[in-house]
Amino acid sequence: MSFGSFDRGGSQSHTNAEINMVPLIDVMLVLLVIFLITAPLLTHSISVQLPQASAQPVENEKKYLDLAITPEGLLYLDNEEVALEDLTTTLQPFAQDTPQPEVRIRADQETRYELLAQVMSRTKASGLTRLGFVTRPDTPAP
């Protein structure tokens, strides 16, 4: 393969516009060797006889608190009315539970953002860290 000459004379030099394939082939061959070595290691397994057990499956019930907020600003914790000022003290006993329950907020779309922010900050102040929002799925357009 010629790359040209160092002659400054009148000879016309032509540049080589071909892609050098040698480095690409080298990389491909290295990857092929790596895959050939690692493929048998991925399929290798150890045969183990697992014991049989006749135990009942443990039901891990997810616990949550339902906090509803009406457009008028009334709060309902599991269908019982709670004042905003008492929300922190009402939620504090639930923060001691293990696992900690999730607080699911169901707020009306007309609820003021300020009230929602206050509810969220008082929930965090009570020690509860898991917070979720309940929404209605969007209906597809016809």
67-82 confidence digits (pLDDT tens): 999 988 899 998 899 9
Q: Rounded to two decimals, what is the model's pTM?
A: 0.54
Domains of the chain: 64-133 (3.30.420.270)
Amino acid in the structure at residue 70: T
Return d(Cα 95, Cα 58) in angstroms, integer: 23
Tokens of 125: 């102040």
**Residue 10: is its pLDDT beyond 60?**
no
Residue pLDDT, tens place only, 68-118? 999 888 999 988 999 999 999 999 998 888 888 999 999 888 888 899 999
HSE-up (13 A, CA, CB side) for residue 65: 23
- Using omega within 30 degrees of 0 as the cis cutoff, is the peptide bond preceding 51 cis? no
Burial class (CB in 10 A: 0-12, 13-18, 19+), 98: exposed
